[in-house]
Amino acid sequence: MKLIEYNKILPTLLDCVKDCKNELLICSAWITAGGIIEILEMIRYSNNKPSVKVLLRASEPKDFEITEYEVFNILSYYRSYFDISVAFHSHLHAKFVVIDDKCAIIGSANLTESGLKGYNVEVAMLVEDEESVRKLRNYF
């Protein structure tokens, strides 16, 4: 495992996503346009077209104020380039991304602009132990 400091979370995530070949799993209570667009653009312009599965929290109206309506429009737009599915969980608090069952980034940051671009002080870990990474699939 490797510690990722708050100002390196997005660059590390993008570096991992650029090599994604088969499947990207995104688990985040909340997502904003500023948090997801760079990830989707990285996939769009890569030679690979992995499937993307997104798991969001949906327990109260506030969840859909933080995860902006625009995010659903963005996800719908990118469906024309690769397969994207969205699911909801009422008590979700976990925040992680799994890339091809090979590595994961687990941390405190939601996929929001403030969480990924250094506005909040967050921390994350890069996990490359494939057995541990595969266990994260159980959330999906």
| pLDDT tens digit sequence for 25-43 | 999 999 999 999 999 999 9
Question: What tokens does 28 get?
Answer: 């985040």
The answer to whether residue 103 scores a pLDDT higher than 90 is yes
Average pLDDT over the chain reads 94
Task: Supply the range of the domain harboring residue 79.
Answer: 2-139
Q: Is the pLDDT of residue 15 over 90?
A: yes
Domain count, the chain: 1
Q: Can you say whether residue 137 is alpha, beta or left, with left for phi > 0 and alpha for psi between -120 and 50 degrees? A: alpha
DSSP 46-60: SS---EEEEEEE-SS
Asked if 130 contacts 101 with a C-beta cutoff of 8 angstroms, the reply is yes
Phi, psi of 84 (to 5 degrees): -130, 135
- CA 45 from centre of chain: 17
- 45-54 pLDDT, tens digit each: 999 999 999 9
pTM of the model: 0.94
At 46, which CATH number? 3.30.870.10
Quick one: pLDDT at residue 50?
96
Q: Pick left, alpha or beta for residue 5 (phi over 0 → left; psi -120 to 50 → alpha; otherwise beta).
A: beta
Residue 118 has pLDDT above 80, yes or no: no
